[in-house]
Structure 1
Amino acid sequence: MSSFSAPLAAVRRVPFWVQVVAGLVLGVVLGFVARQYGVGWLDTTLDTIGSVFVGLLTAAVPPLILTAIIVSVANLRQVSNAARLAGQTLLWFAITSLVAVTIGIVIGLVTNPGRAADISTEGATFDGGSGSWLDFLTGLVPANFLGLNVDEGGASFNALQLVVLALVIGAAVLKVGEPAEPFLNFMRSALSVVQQVLWWIIKLAPLGTLGLIGRAVSQYGWDLVAPLATFTVDVYVGCAIVLFVVYPLILRAHGLSPVKFFSGAWPAIQLAFVSRSSMGTMPLTQRVTNRNLGVPLDYASFAVPFGATTKMDGCAAIYPALAAITVAQLFGIDLGLQDYLLIAFVSVIGSAATAGLTGAVVMLTLTLTTLGLPLEGVGLLLAIDPILDMMRTATNVAGQALVPTVVAKREGLLDESVYNGRRDDPLGGAPEVREPETAAA
């Protein structure tokens, strides 16, 4: 037994970020080998490892949303400015989205990605449906207790419906008062258990990173990117400007260090890049927002899940703006000032209209239909969508951590000793266990 305990102890002493980077590098190498030499079993293995990891994270999202928001709403009876917090959160969601879509439009007008594309529109088709402005209203009402949807592809959940359901139950707990204490204590205990399970899953991130990035490298090469190279570069540059210019400027304007923000949020941003799932990354985003950035847990438990369904600067602002300009140029359609204003409007408001629905394609189809552009253009962009989705999702998640941090700072709730603290462990140590008698303090 001792022969195994020594290597295991040595691995545990390696900083978590080093483990993740090692998984990233090894994944790139294995993905390159699988693609270059056609090693099918290796490609399948990488795909399985990555899919299982994201599946584990996604499976933990419903109980996390339900328990965390119910407990958080119940704890808000001690907070006098709860409504103001919610309003500030929505306001900053809109402000950052407006800045992001403006950047996307400017880059598109400067680079003309559609005219530079080496791709034909002949035979282009898309029959995957489109986003609708009514999706927001229908998405608010849970179809059943947990907002579950079952079809031929299996069971799935609507995150926005879960958020609404949890808010209603939390409000009912507040209304009922003392008789609801046993139920509330159960929710607190359940939340502690869910947090512990999530901690175990998150510790698998190095292995999950290996599988996810390895699969991406093995599947997508330059031959797919080349025809739409300008568009691809535009999306990455636009997201990078938002990530490393706009967000730091906002942080500086609030007296916060961008370096500390990125060192605290980086585990979630990094996982978002390789997993391409804001919802799958949400448990880690919520964790680092609280444990590394100093946002109160009761507020983070509301703001981060809500942001994961509606706050998407990459998928719902930069990408649809650039994609709409690209599609218009591919089909020889001239856009006017009112069209660009419509793009901005859809990006700021439309992310709420498509909340809880999967993928940037829904947001893109909503943008194209609002502008009257041909949906066939979606089919032309789908081939490289996974490559673009990596940077888009990283931008989404960074914004989902940024807004609660900024709002908490503005409202005097941010624990700056935590925000400015050392990052010995980017995940903030062991999971927080909330005792019933102190949770409402």
Structure 2
Amino acid sequence: MSSATSASPATSRPTTPQRSRARRILTSFGFQITLALVLGVVLGLVARQLGPLPDGSPNPLAATLGTIGDSYVTLLKTAVIPLIFFAIVASIAQLRRVTNAARLAGQTLLWFAITALIAVSIGIGLGVTIQPGARVDQTALTTAEPSTVGTWWNFLVGLVPQNVFGLTVSTSVDAETGAAVSSVGFNVLQVIVVAAAVGIAALKLGRRAEPFLTFTESTLKVIQRVLWWIIRIAPLGTLGLIASAVVEYGWEKLTTLAWFALAVYAGLALVLFVVYPTLLRSHGLSIRQYFSGVWPAVQLAFVSRSSIGTLPLTQRVTERNLGVPREYASFAVPFGATTKMDGCAAIYPAIAAIFVAQFFGIDLTIWQYVLIALVSVVGSAATAGTTGATVMLTLTLSTLGLPLEGVGLLLAIDPILDMGRTAVNVAGQALVPTIVAKREGILDVELYDAPRGDVPFADDSDDVAADDAPGRNGADAADRPTSDEFEGPAAPPQLQPSSR
């Protein structure tokens, strides 16, 4: 009797492995992001129900959530410029140890084009099949000229750096106050051009550039550590971003353009959950491992609606979770963040162009469908350094000779569609380097296939893990990815074909 009584508390108390598993789940980055998404939706619905203040301004809850979300995206974008610059300079400097650098760059561009062609083909097929422009109530929509138009000439001019940091300054007039408002941005493509020039110059200088390269590599490690701190507070930023999106947009605007939204999201789903897994499987890679590795970046991209803002996390999961060597990833991922956009530059403009043609009663020819595919494959470079898909859409419409005022038809629900578009963009930006690395025999397959804990997300440990500290599940720290691996070894390995 007494022994049974004494045993009862012990059997009801969670065992050490159970407590350890629960702790891993609660501290998992992916779990925290998911929890933030749920809480963000709830708080957004509450703030939306409260409504605006009598003077039309947002209520305190909505204003607070919006500030949190906007501040986090701003914080990420602030860190992007030094990350891209020093990462590209460092990676180009390592080319002296790499024998297949030109082939890697060519393969990257080739697979960018292949996946874009597949995505735009799906977009054209859905646009022709669903015919969203013929199913809409034309009296409920208003045409409007776009504020920005993408052109091939703007792309060529944009390649020339305006300054060493790629900074741009624009001035607009506030419609309510009439005051001039100036904003500072940056052209990522120009930053890449400048960084590439500096890196090539360092290569040409040889030994004389060694102090500069040492400084560059050390600075890059410092920037990556700061970025890791920013990424760790992503759940807070996610909460604010998704909540403010619910407050501002809701789902009412989807009613009029429901068929168009359905076509776009169907295309995004087909690319993300059918095309990408097929490509992974054809290269002998685990589909589950890819999604569990890339999912934190996809989640952040969905709520932030910014490939550039998500870039630090995209590069991190590509290197640490998917096993792509840093020397290659530091080139491919930033370059993909500016030119690899299957959502914004392939699926969306294809369906949107067909929608505009159907809305205005214009029959497209076979040649015009070919032009849609051509613009989507090579035209995303013309929108590098810009935000949103409007520029890409105007480039497509102008190339086809369709009315540019058709852009105004779709602006009402563009933010809602942009969430899905950006998520697919980021997934593709991590996919192509992974495939190319696998094809070239430089992918760390052991790291790609490494267990990531008990939940299907990246297994993020504390940022102060020691190199020789015991790892989880009794493994040594060296046998599993840690936050220190984000910084990389002191001497980056050569990109030579693996023996595996």
2:25/2:31 contact within 8 Å kept: no
Q: CA deviation at 1:37?
A: 2.7
Q: Distance in 2 between matches of 1:183 and 1:120?
A: 63
Q: CA deviation at 1:373?
A: 0.7
Does residue 224 of structure 2 align to residue 195 of structure 1? yes
Aligned counterpart in structure 1 of residue 394 of structure 2, from 334, 353, 365 = 365
Q: CA deviation at 1:136?
A: 2.3
Distance 1:389 1:52, change over 3 A: same
Does residue 16 of structure 2 align to residue 24 of structure 1? no
Q: Distance in 2 between matches of 1:221 and 1:402?
A: 31
Aligned counterpart in structure 2 of residue 240 of structure 1, from 269, 282, 296 = 269
Q: CA deviation at 1:137?
A: 1.4
Distance 1:99 1:142, change over 3 A: same
Structure 1 equivalent of residue 16 of structure 2? none
SS at match of 1:227: coil
Query: Where does 1:13-412 land on structure 2 (aligned, <5 Å)?
Result: 14-38=27-51, 40-120=59-139, 124-152=143-171, 153-412=182-441
Q: Distance in 2 between matches of 1:108 and 1:248?
A: 23
1:100/1:242 contact within 8 Å kept: yes
Gaps of 5+ in 2: 1-22, 53-58, 172-181, 461-480, 495-500
Q: Percent identity?
A: 62
More divergent stretch after superposition (384-393 vs 139-148) = 139-148
More divergent stretch after superposition (252-261 vs 212-221) = 212-221
Q: Distance in 2 between matches of 1:382 and 1:365?
A: 12
AA matched with 1:52: S
1:121/1:330 contact within 8 Å kept: no
Structure 2 equivalent of residue 433 of structure 1? 487
Q: Distance in 1 between matches of 2:493 and 2:446?
A: 22
Structure 1 residues 222-269: Cα deviation after superposition (integer angstroms, max 9, x where no partner): 321110000001111100000000000000110001111000000001
Q: Distance in 2 between matches of 1:118 and 1:271?
A: 34
SS at match of 2:387: coil
- Which runs of structure 1 show a deviation greater than 4 angstroms over 4 or more consecutive aligned residues? 10-13
Q: Distance in 2 between matches of 1:405 and 1:123?
A: 43
Gaps of 5+ in 1: 1-9
Q: CA deviation at 1:392?
A: 0.2
Q: Flag the structure with larger Rg.
A: 2
Q: CA deviation at 1:358?
A: 2.2
SS at match of 1:150: strand
SS at match of 1:280: helix
Q: CA deviation at 1:135?
A: 2.3
Structure 1 residues 389-431: Cα deviation after superposition (integer angstroms, max 9, x where no partner): 0000000000000000000000000000000001134445324
Distance 1:11 1:296, change over 3 A: closer
Structure 2 equivalent of residue 4 of structure 1? none
AA matched with 2:196: L
- By relative contact order (CA 8 Å, sep 6+), the higher-ranking structure is 1
Q: Distance in 1 between matches of 2:375 and 2:93?
A: 34
Q: Distance in 2 between matches of 1:254 and 1:106?
A: 26
2:89/2:195 contact within 8 Å kept: yes
Q: CA deviation at 1:13?
A: 5.7
SS at match of 2:371: helix
User: Which structure is higher in helix share?
Assistant: 1
More divergent stretch after superposition (32-41 vs 66-75) = 32-41
Q: Distance in 1 between matches of 2:132 and 2:263?
A: 8
Q: CA deviation at 1:51?
A: 0.5
SS at match of 2:483: coil
Structure 1 residues 296-337: Cα deviation after superposition (integer angstroms, max 9, x where no partner): 001000000000000000000000000001111111111111
More divergent stretch after superposition (341-350 vs 15-24) = 15-24
Distance 1:58 1:439, change over 3 A: same
Does residue 427 of structure 2 align to residue 414 of structure 1? no
2:33/2:235 contact within 8 Å kept: yes
1:121/1:380 contact within 8 Å kept: no
Q: Distance in 2 between matches of 1:175 and 1:393?
A: 38
Distance 1:311 1:426, change over 3 A: farther
SS at match of 2:148: coil
1:140/1:160 contact within 8 Å kept: yes
Q: CA deviation at 1:199?
A: 0.4
More divergent stretch after superposition (94-103 vs 135-144) = 135-144
Alignment coverage as a number of residue pairs: 432
AA matched with 1:142: P
TM-score (norm 1): 0.95
Structure 2 equivalent of residue 5 of structure 1? none
Q: Distance in 2 between matches of 1:123 and 1:395?
A: 29
SS at match of 1:373: coil
AA matched with 2:492: A
